[in-house]
Structures are given as structure tokens and as C-alpha cells.
């Protein structure tokens, strides 16, 4: 949605965005650039396909914009989960 709103504001001919995700657990030693070294890490591989008559610069910019969407920012930030029990 973030990419579509950005393209609409720029009046770029973006017809559709297709996002494919793959989630897997990897061993920490397979992640050389990770700060923390837990035993297993969650890895999400994301493929984004832009449908429309866009040039390479527009596609590259939309790929950058994908990292600024609220869901991406939430998943890449430190998360504090607090659980409580209700009756």
C-alpha cells in the first residue's frame, strides 16, 4: 500500500505490486552481519514485482520505499511483547 500511494502521488504508472515472502529459521552463524547471536534467527526473504510501465529509476525508488512501510519498520525494530491473562 505504501508503494502504491507513493507512485500515485508521483503520478507513476504503477498498475500492481506483487509481494512474495518466504520465512525460515537460520542458524546465527549463517548471519555474519547480525549484532545479536541467538541460536536461531528468523529470516524473511521478500520478492517484490512491480507491474506497470516504470523505468529502472522508478522501480529502484519504489524498492527503497518498501523499506519505509509501517509493517517493515515494525518487523525490523526491537519488539517488546507483554502478555497478560484475562478472565
Whether pLDDT at 64 is above 60? yes
Whether pLDDT at 3 is above 60? yes
Q: Which percentage of the chain shows pLDDT scores above 90?
A: 54
Question: Cell numbers at residue 63, please?
Answer: 524498492
Whether pLDDT at 71 is above 60? yes
| CA 33 distance to own-chain centroid | 18
- pLDDT value of position 80: 84
| pLDDT tens, residue by residue, 43-63 | 889 999 999 999 999 999 999
Rg of the chain in Å (alpha carbons):
17
Q: Distances from the Cα of 74 to the Cαs of 2, 22, 67, in angstroms?
A: 14, 17, 10
| pLDDT tens, residue by residue, 9-45 | 999 999 999 999 999 888 766 556 566 655 777 888 9
What's the N-to-C CA distance of the chain in angstroms?
Answer: 37
Close Cβ partners of 47 (under 8 Å, ≥ 6 residues apart): 19, 20, 21
| CA 55 distance to own-chain centroid | 21
Amino acid at each position: 500500500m505504501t508503494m502504491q500511494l507513493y507512485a500515485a502521488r508521483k503520478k507513476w504508472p504503477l498498475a500492481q505490486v506483487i509481494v512474495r515472502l518466504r520465512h525460515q529459521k537460520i542458524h546465527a552463524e549463517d548471519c555474519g552481519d547480525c549484532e545479536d547471536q541467538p541460536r536461531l534467527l528468523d529470516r524473511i526473504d521478500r520478492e517484490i514485482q512491480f507491474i506497470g510501465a516504470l523505468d529502472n529509476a522508478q522501480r529502484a525508488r519504489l524498492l527503497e520505499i518498501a523499506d519505509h512501510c509501517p509493517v517493515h519498520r515494525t518487523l525490523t525494530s526491537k519488539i517488546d511483547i507483554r502478555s497478560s491473562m484475562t478472565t
